[in-house]
Amino acid sequence: MSHTILLVQPGVRPETRTYCDYESVNECMEGVCKIYEEHLKRRNPNTPTITYDISQLFDFIDTLIDISCMVYQKSTNTYAPYNKDWIKEKIYVLLRQAAFSPNA
């Protein structure tokens, strides 16, 4: 488990910048999915069940002005930066594992 900081800037104004921290990369990727789900709930307040596919999630990620992760590297005691494409790859792997897990 590597401590991970998610940096998000949804709008052009610097005041829209925010961050969240997580105990692992997978928790962070789940956090990105939750951000999108909250976005969908705000846009569809009267819809009891929200569904989406991965391409819609990736389109949402692409609309963000900036999203990146800083992942703790124990060997160097530093944080390494990762960009949108890395985040999308990690989300793809996470959701694929969830889809093929026996408890899914």
Contact 84, 61 (CB under 8 A): yes
Starting at the earlier edge strand, list the strands of the sheet with 66-73.
18-22, 4-9, 66-73, 78-82
The CATH number linked to 84 is 3.30.2260.10
The verdict on pTM exceeding 0.75 is yes
* Residue range(s) defining the domain that contains residue 54: 4-100
Token pair listed for 76 = 């160097």
* Number of domains into which the chain is organized: 1
Three-state DSSP at 23 gives coil
> Residues with Cβ < 8 Å from 102, sequence gap 6 or more?
none
User: What digits encode the pLDDT tens for the residues 11-57?
Assistant: 999 999 999 999 999 999 999 999 999 999 999 999 889 899 999 99
